[in-house]
Chains A and B, each alone.
Chain A
Amino acid sequence: MQGDASDTVLVVGAGPAGLSAAASIAAAGFRPVVVEKEDVLGGAPILSGYAKLVPSGEWAKDAIGRMVARVEQDASTTVFKGTKVTGFEGEPGDFTATLSNGEHVKAGAAILATGFTHFDSINKPEWGFGTYEDVLTTTQMEQMVAGGKIFCPSDGRVPERVAILLCVGSRDRQIGREWCSKICCTVSTNLAMEIKELSPTTDVFIYYMDIRTFGLYEDKFYWKSQEEFKTKFVKARIAEVTTSGDGRLLVKGEDTLVKRPIVIPFDIVVHAIGMDPNEDNPEISKVFGVGLEKHGFIDRAEFYTSTCGTTRRGVFAAGSCYAPETIDDSISQGHAAAARAIAELHALARKKAG
């Protein structure tokens, strides 16, 4: 048996949200027990090999790496890797979690930082992913950027024209994904600049329904990508991606501002993939006894006075398990959830002391 319910908080998931939660709990003198189903810590930015993060411009491995190190080096923190929570019993102040490695953990509160699953482009087959080698996802393109050379996977040539399609797996009722994934616009403008910088002869076109580079990202990404990197924005949703006889990709859209259907050749087409609910959410919901909202993300408690709550008392949540979320905001939410958990333990201790 690990932990002591009076000062232990179970943190499920070690991505940006989980790592920040664990750090806050430890800094406040409590004991975090971190359970991560993968063999490495860091969550999506590490597991999927993100390149540079928005908005810092820092490499994921450096930025998230510091968060990982902070948690791993903390003496009061226990970390289980390659482990899942399979049972979760008890009540606030006295929970017992059963882990897949057979261990039991006593904890006074729990924080779900279980994240999301990338949308799999194979589910939007008319956009050519899985059919044509030169159709990639943003994640694959980030890998290419990280490799330092922009080329067509099919034959290695330098692309003259790259199209980035926004809202792949987002804002699409046809495939049951009605939400906006929040980060793809900014990530894509950033990617467009990175491509242009590495490959100055490559022109980048972004096909969009709306551009949502919210807050300070407007001029730092959206405007800048146009003014300095000559990224072209076309207000059009692509209908289909096919290939022409010469091997180039053809995208079919309507330029809605000039109101004409267009068919345009490209060398690479990039899917700006969205964020799905974690594919394990049905299991997570069952194990922790928390509800899911209609899209399949973790359901939030009343927000104003029960921030970071779920439908079960004593179980908190943070980050992209709630909804598509940025890395920065996931980190903030991790700290907020930690504060809620610690406050709960304090309150229970005071109550016990009478």
Chain B
Amino acid sequence: MANYAEMQQIFDDIRSDFRYDHELNGCLNCGVCTATCPSAHFYDYSPREIVQLLWTENVEQIYDAMQEKIWACAQCMTCAARCPFKNSPGGLVAIMREVAIARGLQSAKDVLRPFGRVMLKLITTGNQLSPDMIQPDHFPDWGPNIQKVEGDLKVLRKAIPVKTLQTVDTAWEVSLKTSVEMYTIWEMTGVLKSLEMMDENLFDVIEDFIDEKKEDYEDWLEEQDED
């Protein structure tokens, strides 16, 4: 549990985001956001409550909401489309999540652990989901009919009549140069740093992978020069 000064600091981080004043204009307490919220149907979560906590600067309850509640939001942004004040509760949640990660909250680490596979794929390949991730053993609840034609995944992917899609470990074939450009973006925008804060082991794996790819790219560039 954080002390009051720390909680105040977290709130200050949230409201110093340049989007904050754009996403929060006040609140009429009409509840239209919660009415349309898929997560409110399922969780003890209410976008109106998030907006109220931020608007009334209730730093203790904001801190509390950041432990669990903000992770319930499905980010569909229906709330933002409906709010008569043009607030974006979903946008505010996105800011709060960024702050939870920047501050390395343990709750954020716990919540994101099962999501690691997607992050690994994304950061290293620029794709977020690949054919080899959607195997029946990964998603037993998707049932035995996850595919209607049995066969080797590689062959089934080759049977897609579009060259870029004939891949197994990425959604489409991403050129090496493209990947390396993306690593630069990750580095320059602090994404790798927040990843390190969140999950050191995952970060190590990703770092090794990126280094390898970069070397491949250097080699490829040299080959091009020689040609």
Do chains A and B directly touch (beta carbons under 8 Å) in the complex?
yes
Chain A residues with CB under 8 Å of chain B are: 126, 167, 171-174, 209-210, 235-240, 252-256, 259-262
Alpha-carbon distance A138/B211, docked complex (angstroms):
67
Pick from B59-67, B77-85, B160-168, B179-187 the stretch touching chain A.
B77-85
Q: Within 8 Å CB of B83, what residues of A? A: 174
- Contact across chains for B28 and A171 when beta carbons are under 8 A apart: yes
**Contact of A174 (CB < 8 Å), options: B34, B78, B84:** B84
Alpha-carbon distance A332/B217, docked complex (angstroms):
81
What are 12 A-to-B residue pairs whose CB atoms are below 8 Å?
A167-B84, A209-B84, A235-B29, A237-B28, A237-B31, A237-B84, A238-B32, A239-B78, A254-B33, A254-B46, A256-B29, A260-B40
- Contact across chains for A261 and B41 when beta carbons are under 8 A apart: yes
- Contact across chains for A254 and B48 when beta carbons are under 8 A apart: yes
- Give the residue name and chain of the B residue nearest to A251 (CB): B35
> Which residues of B140-156 have CB atoms within 8 Å of chain A's CB atoms?
none
> Which residues of B59-100 have CB atoms within 8 Å of chain A's CB atoms?
78, 81-86
Name the distance in Å between B93's Cβ and chain A's nearest Cβ. Answer: 17
- Give the residue name and chain of the A residue nearest to B80 (CB): A174
- Contact across chains for B84 and A252 when beta carbons are under 8 A apart: no
Known: A236-B30, A254-B31, A254-B35. A172 touches B84 (CB 8 A): yes
Name the distance in Å between B148's Cβ and chain A's nearest Cβ. Answer: 30
Q: Within 8 Å CB of A237, what residues of B? A: 28, 30-32, 35, 84
Alpha-carbon distance A173/B35, docked complex (angstroms):
18
- Contact across chains for A209 and B82 when beta carbons are under 8 A apart: no
Tell me whether B36 is interfacial, beta carbon within 8 Å: yes
Counting from the closest, the 4 A-B pairs by CB-CB distance are A254-B31, A237-B30, A254-B34, A256-B31
- Contact across chains for A262 and B35 when beta carbons are under 8 A apart: yes
- Contact across chains for A173 and B31 when beta carbons are under 8 A apart: no
**Which among A126, A172, A237, A238 has the highest number of chain B CB atoms within 10 Å?**
A237
